[in-house]
Chain A
Amino acid sequence: MSKSIKLESPLYYFHGALNRKSNTENHATGALFNGEAEYGLVIKEATLSAHLNLRGDGRNPSFCSGVADALGLKLPVIPGTYQRSGNTSLYWLGPNEWLVVDIGGDSEKLEAKLRKSLTGHIAVVDVSGGQTCINLRGPGVATVLKKSSLYDFEHWDNATAVSGRAVQTNFAKASAIVSNNSDGSYNLVIRRSFADYVAQWLLDAGEEFGCRIEAE
């Protein structure tokens, strides 16, 4: 097929969306965030990425070392944490379940790599089409998270460049995997079919700070 293939990420139709009241009283007063004083909440959708759901026995040393070999990452076995190296993050989702997100990565190659270094009862499932990773930054983020989730994100220790906290939880009336970043921003992995709802929710929740959605 010579015709070019148009790809649509889950938030494709929201790139460039804005929501800001001109007479908003609660202007974001925090530090300028990338010079964007008028937008207290900036949502950036990552480029299309590889998302793989990984199942296996976290107590099995060969599984742990296999994952480490394939991804160059330590398998996080502490609940509610993730490990990161470069563009690749590995989120703990359960005692035998993880999510690999490789920003901009190729899911087929990554799956093959994992399958090659893992043996025994494991599962690797490509879910790249079904979810997307978005970044929330700005002085309004903490409040918007409080509006959206019952979870206590304030209680988390700060993230480092290579690890941080992550939780799979309710987000408004959808679900999300929420994680923190070392720069104080947060990442959300959301499901594609709920993306419109989540985008509308965030634009609404961020209105008091000024909110916009951008693409990476």
Chain B
Amino acid sequence: MSANRLLTHTGTPLDFTFNGKAYQGIAGDTLASALLANGVNVVGRSFKYARPRGIFGHGAEEPNGIIQLGSGAGTVPNLKATQVELYQGLEASSVNGWPSVNFDVMGIIGAFGRLMPPGFYYKTFMYPKKLWMTYEHFIRKAAGLGATPVEADPDSYDKLNQHCDVLVVGAGPAGLIAAREAARTGARVIIADEQSEFGGSLLASKQTIDGRQATSWVTSLVAELEACSNVQLLPKSTVFGYYDHNFLTILERRTDHLGLTAAHGVRQRMHRVRAAQVVLATGAFERPLVFSHNDIPGVMLASSVSTYVNRYGVAPGNKLVLFTTNDNAYQTALDWHETGRDVVAVIDTRSNPSGDIVAAAKAKGISVIAGHGLIEAQGNQRVKRALIAPINALGTEVTGPVRRLDCDLIACSGGWSPAIHLSSHTGAKPVWDESIVGFRPGESKQQERSAGACRGTFDLIGCLAEGATAGAEAAKMSGYGEGIAQFPCSAVEEFVEQPQQALFLVPHTKSTSRAPSQFVDFQLDVSASGIELAVREGFESVEHVKRYTALGFGTDQGKLGNINGMAILANALDQTIAETGTTIFRPSYTPTTFGAIAGRDVNNLFDPERYTAMHRWHVEQGAEFEDVGQWKRPWYFPQNNETMQEAVNREGLAVRNTVGILDASTLGKIDIQGPDAAEFITRMYTNSYLKLAPGKCRYGVMLKEDGMIFDDGVCACLGDNHYLMFTTTGGAAGVLAWLELWQQTEWPDLKVYFTSVTDHWTTATVTGPNARKVIAKVCSDIELSNEDFSFMDWRDGTVAGVKARIFRISFTGELSYEVNVPAQYGRHVWEALMAAGEEFKITPYGTETMHVLRAEKGFIIVGQDTDGSMTPADMNMDWVVGKNKAFSFVGKRSLSRSDSVRENRKQLVGLKTLQGSDVLPEGAQVVFDAKQKIPMSMQGHVTSSYFSASLGHSIALAVVKGGHSRLGQIVHCPLADGSTIAAEIVSSVFYDPKGERHHV
């Protein structure tokens, strides 16, 4: 049995290691309680001064026991030892304490901290700037902020979206009672608590409720809640953020207590809760007292000492000195006395403490030294003695001789600070209340109320009453119950307490600046003198002082130090605390793993991959894929270890010489019906559709209001008042939204309906000189001759036994048939077309070849050759703009803006490199004078560039200032490596300029 373990407390032994050394704890321990049981004094080193630090608290407020759990991929940095449940085989180490916590280089240097006064980042390390990286490395290493794993996280995390009527945060007395009252009404209740057991402060309490031990009262109440089907209990679950519209986030630690292994299912689950009403019952943190060397291991919060004794059966020392400003902490002296260990004395700052509990302590023979302060702790890696001295009533001066008390444990209590963090997240401004010497939650900004200690109500009977009222009220406001607590009030035996003393800085015989360090924020070594120095240097705002001194910057986020720090600041500024105010807490309440925030949206589930009906055929053929929006499109189909260029050359030549086949299913398709369909479409495209007959198609360009090209595609007239609009693959959703926007907001009088049919149709494009022969083999009910079925016509028919719709649209410049069938037939028809084309060596091709073929024809791709600043005229596409439309069209007016018609706009041209084998990089800048000094005058840029196997040389599309009047001129493209490629400006149509090939 470990030295500090009380014999009354037993359990299953668990082995663990800390900083490489083996220890044993018992089931139910936290790492902190197990370390204390084993008498481990030093658990880390402080940020600036590298002072040895021990366990100080017992929960989320712990500033010193910051540890790294495990190693390798599953390692977790910056956990609080007080919140890590012990498990068999746990391995942990201090995050801070290079090279070791017990023998510390920086601790020996000691005076290092003198180099790091408040604002040290700003003062010391700013110049020279280039050394910042060196400084930062050194500071980070010294600060020991923990190590992030470098391997992928092997664990699984997920998220649940929850809805409830009443969310109760915290399962202490107020929270449990609130949940019971709300549950009774039938409301959906979620109650969450960060600890593994419900009960909060009651878990370590010796009080009785309704004549029963507090812990047994908790057990039966929890059982009662568990039996309710409308209540969800979430232990090990920290509510870490409170956002607008009563949206709260909870981190549930599901397997952390089982150890670091991925074998246990979901490690952490984030609950995203939308609650109609919220009851905050988050309790309070005990406030430490600020005295000299209050950071030596062996100085702890009074409530923490009680918790370790009562809940974990650990007495972290032998000889206790209790230092308090209030009655409440006397319980710790009583608890300690009961362990049989020595209570040296209770040091009370008040001159005449006289409450019930004080009397109870005195009755046990405990020595109470009133009107005194504990002005300094002494010791190195463990407290050895306390220096005490009489102080004046205001607590500002030492008024008498200093005495020494030998001890190895100092428990201190400066009263309690409500845990107002979540209320603060909502924007409620905390209000200082002198009567509780703390900030209360501000006026609610959301559907929430606080109950119990987090509202400044510290007596148990008050917590229970408030919790009951809050639970009933929250239920009523969410539509359940009468709003009045129904269960009878619990009977509680309680000591009547006398007022506490507000004391934020214990005076020393020396002035604050001369006294040994009086720590306010342990983690970042912010001392009282540091705050006063910041004021002397001119800082007045609490927010500025916080940033200058780093007060509250640590992983504990100022849960312990903030109030003391602000009070010391107020005093230095000669203000009241209310005037000084407090900094605002923000999410997260405690550190949250990124894994939980990501949830299952990782790896293959990170973003949906959209597949066409032929996707698996492409995969089977060994296609390489390209991402087009969320779609996976075949990029090219390499054969026999071909390079991409070789594959693209082969695919392109096949289309030009015989026949190719492309999966064009991803193009957006919008079905448009209604008596005003043609009018509406005509208002959206630059050209007119009023006279488009059934069976016919037309290419159109869509502009935004600014006259710039936004999408393009073909629109077919399917019948009277019925059209099918094709959009670009990436633009589909945007175009549908655009149509709906104009119809719903501008032209609701136009009778027209839009429906996406993108997923319904699968499209196989058969293109090349032999395309007709291929189609003829699988389709017998359409007259395929050019006279009967011409370019830009469509026909209904049967392809490979399936009802199909065929469009003669061409994006390659060759004879093309786009075969559309409902997607469930997609693969069947595709394979039938492949079989039919076999004798013509039909060649599947991907997006890369498609790009080359269309560039040979000078067809633009919206979003590649245009960038949202190009008009149809810029693209040399004036022919697509209807000048005489009755109603106008979206973007028309902008086409005559002075900027749209000015000379020298960037215009689409072709570029032909003087060396045909040179392929210009896309994005290359175009200049007219290759010898011009830098900065050169940029005249345009390359938008598309490929090697064309059909033409035997490279081709490029570019936008060049005034390009349409510069045909034949030579331009230059300077490259990043210093070389330059010269090219001639040519027509953007490289292949079959007369368009004869697709009219056959």
Contact = CB atoms under 8 A, between A and B. Distances in A.
Contacts of A24: 265
User: What bracket does the count of chain A residues touching chain B fall in?
Assistant: 35 or more
Nearest to A175: B608
A208 B265 CA distance: 7
A149 B272 CA distance: 11
Contacts of A208: 265-266
Nearest to A173: B608
A192 B613 CA distance: 8
A147 B162 CA distance: 9
A13 to B, nearest CB: 6
Contacts of A7: 824-825, 828
B759 A8 contact: no
A160 interface: no
Given A96-B753, A197-B610, A201-B600, 20 more contacts: A1-B778, A7-B824, A7-B825, A8-B827, A23-B263, A121-B674, A121-B675, A123-B671, A123-B755, A125-B671, A125-B755, A126-B760, A128-B822, A129-B759, A129-B762, A149-B161, A173-B607, A192-B613, A192-B760, A193-B612
Contacts of B158: 147, 205
Interface stretch (A64-72, A81-89, A133-141, A150-158): A150-158
A142 to B, nearest CB: 10
Given A125-B755, A172-B605, A5 B631 contact: no
B753 A55 contact: yes
A208 B157 CA distance: 12
A197 B605 contact: yes
A149 B266 CA distance: 18
Interface in B445-490: none
Given A1-B800, A146-B160, A154-B188, A55 B609 contact: no
Contact of B759 (A96, A143, A172, A192): A192
Interface string B805-847: 0000000000000000111111110001000000000000000
A188 to B, nearest CB: 15
Interface string B964-981: 000000000000000000
Given A55-B673, A129-B759, A197-B610, A25 B265 contact: yes
B711 to A, nearest CB: 19
A125 B754 CA distance: 9
- Chain B residues touching A, majority SS: mixed
B825 A173 contact: no
A46 interface: no
Interface in A176-205: 191-197, 200-201, 204-205
Contacts of A154: 163, 188
26 contacts: A5-B800, A6-B827, A7-B828, A48-B824, A55-B673, A121-B674, A121-B675, A123-B674, A125-B757, A127-B760, A128-B824, A129-B759, A129-B822, A143-B160, A147-B160, A147-B161, A147-B600, A149-B161, A192-B613, A195-B611, A197-B608, A197-B609, A200-B604, A200-B605, A201-B605, A204-B605
A19 interface: no
Contacts of B604: 200
A52 B320 CA distance: 79
Contact of B600 (A1, A123, A143, A205): A205
Nearest to B759: A130
A174 interface: yes
Contacts of A122: 673, 753
A9 B159 CA distance: 30
A3 interface: yes
Most buried by B among A150, A173, A193, A197: A193
A13 B824 CA distance: 12
Nearest to A3: B801
Q: What are the 9 closest A-B residue pairs judged by CB atoms, nearest first?
A: A130-B759, A129-B822, A1-B801, A130-B760, A129-B823, A123-B673, A197-B608, A123-B753, A193-B610
Contacts of A168: none
Contact of B673 (A125, A130, A147, A201): A125
Nearest to A155: B163
Given A121-B674, A149-B161, A130 B758 contact: yes
